[in-house]
């Protein structure tokens, strides 16, 4: 598969996965871009031991987790006031809320639900996060219940 085809096929999915982690469209775009730089650099080494999508999602997940670790090291209170996060005006309020709620989940749950929303097969999700398929099914059900509860608490 040619890099351009991979990019076309996976860009939106990877962007949405990153949004689930960071809930900030500019940062999510940066993370998605970084992911594709890594994919481009590592593509010749890809050995088809897993599906290309699984491999790309794993790279994106690791990239997002690294970013979260960096953010934990620098408290937002230390930033200048004019660097406050901008809201994503282009997204519908319910979608903004969904990204916000997903970003509040524990890291593993964020990966799982983001991949589920991208319609990645549960067997692939299990491979990416290192859990059994049955455990993934249970986790997805519980995560959806948590998200539904949060929406109901806010009148949706």
pLDDT tier for residue 35 given thresholds of 50, 70 and 90: very high
Each residue's pLDDT tens digit, 115-150 = 898 888 999 899 888 889 999 999 999 999 999 999
pLDDT for res 21: 83
In angstroms, rounded to a whole number, what is the distance separating the alpha carbons of residues 137 and 55? 21
User: How many whole angstroms separate alpha carbon 154 and alpha carbon 149?
Assistant: 9
How far, in whole angstroms, is CA 138 from its chain's centroid?
Answer: 19
In angstroms, the Cα distances linking 139 to 111, 125, 130 are: 11, 11, 13
pLDDT at 72: 67
Range of the domain at 80: 3-153
Length of the chain: 156
Residue 155: its pLDDT value, please?
Answer: 79
Residue 74 is predicted with a pLDDT of 56
Q: State which H helix or E strand residue 132 sits in.
A: none
Q: How many domains does the chain have?
A: 1
d(CA 70, CA 90): 27
Taking the alpha carbons of 58, 64, 67, 68 in that order, is the dihedral positive or negative?
A: negative
Q: What's the token pair of residue 6?
A: 């991979």
CATH number at residue 87: 1.20.140
Reported as half-sphere exposure (CB side, CA atoms, 13 A), residue 11 has a value of 9
Tens digit of each residue's pLDDT (9 = 90 or more) over 41-99: 999 988 887 789 889 998 998 898 888 777 766 544 444 444 334 444 455 778 888 88
| Residue 1, pLDDT above cutoff 80 | no
């Amino acid at each position: 598969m040619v890099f351009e085809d991979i990019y076309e096929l996976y860009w939106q999915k990877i962007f949405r996965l990153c949004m689930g982690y960071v809930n900030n469209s500019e940062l999510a775009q940066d993370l998605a871009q970084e992911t594709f730089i890594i994919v481009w650099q590592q593509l010749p080494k890809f050995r088809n031991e897993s599906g290309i999508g699984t491999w790309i999602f794993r790279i994106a997940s690791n990239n997002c987790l690294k970013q979260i670790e960096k953010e934990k090291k620098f408290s937002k209170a230390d930033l200048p006031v004019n660097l406050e996060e901008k809201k994503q005006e282009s997204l519908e309020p319910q979608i903004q809320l969904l990204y916000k709620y997903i970003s509040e989940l524990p890291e593993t749950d964020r990966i799982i639900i983001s991949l589920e929303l991208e319609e990645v097969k549960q067997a692939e999700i299990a491979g990416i996060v290192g859990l059994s398929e049955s455990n993934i099914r249970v986790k997805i059900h519980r995560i959806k219940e948590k998200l539904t509860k949060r929406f109901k608490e806010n009148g949706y």
